[in-house]
Amino acid sequence: MSRPYWSRTRPAWCRSRCSVELMADIVDAATRSRMMSGIRGKDTKPEFLVRRGLHARGFRFRLHGSKLPGRPDLVLPKYSAAVLVHGCFWHAHGCSLTKIPKTRPDFWRQKLEGNQARDARQLAELNDMGWRTLVIWECALRGPQDMLSFTLESAASWLRSYEASTEIARSDWTTTTAAL
Ligand code: ZN
């Protein structure tokens, strides 16, 4: 069997350490970051953090309301609530995690605006059906433990409050900590 080209061209000590570098050669930045987050494993996925956090706070829910618009990540009929965990890039949050790729920026802008319009439509449909909606942005989940706790506590008190639809982003946490 012939050896892969890099094992012939790179010294032995480099082979494993250079895998990221090799990946950089063949995929663009967005794909690379997806691959890297895959490597970190399932448990750090934003949806999982929300599920685990709300379960620990005593909430019980159904997963993926597949018959509902936008397939909410968590459905809590007792609270008339649907929780959607939105990745900041794909759902075009406009925060620091949302960077338009340098290659084909027009394509991406159009694509992300389309996603944004679809999200707005789906949230409106859910509201029309009598569901309160909570969008938790990825940026409110990726960061210090304090921020994660703040996000989950905010979600928990919103669920119990029966308040109207809302969203939680990292900016909610930074505003709160700045006010302290
Ligand atoms: Zn964000």
Residue 87 belongs to domain with CATH number: 3.40.960.10
How would you write the pLDDT of the chain (180 residues) with one tens digit per residue? 455 444 444 444 444 444 444 444 445 566 555 555 544 444 459 999 999 999 999 999 988 777 899 999 999 999 999 999 999 999 999 998 888 889 999 999 999 999 999 999 999 999 999 999 999 999 999 999 999 999 999 999 999 998 999 999 999 998 888 876
Task: Give the model confidence (pLDDT) of 10-40 as tens digits.
Answer: 444 444 444 444 444 445 566 555 555 544 4
Task: Give 128-153 as a DSSP string.
Answer: HTT-EEEEEEGGGTSS-HHHHHHHHH
Residue 21 near residue 13, CB atoms below 8 Å: no
Ligand 1: centre distance to CA 142 (Å): 9
Residues with CB under 5 A from ligand 1 (ion): 88, 93, 95, 97, 137, 139
Is 145 in the same domain as 171? yes
Number of domains in the chain: 2
Ligand 1: centre distance to CA 97 (Å): 6
Angle 25-27-29 from CA coordinates, rounded to 5°: 105
Which residue segment(s) compose the domain that 94 sits in? 42-179
Residue type, 143: G
Is 72 in the same domain as 31? no
Is 49 in the same domain as 85? yes
Residue 70 near residue 165, CB atoms below 8 Å: no
Ligand 1: centre distance to CA 84 (Å): 13
Is 15 in the same domain as 49? no
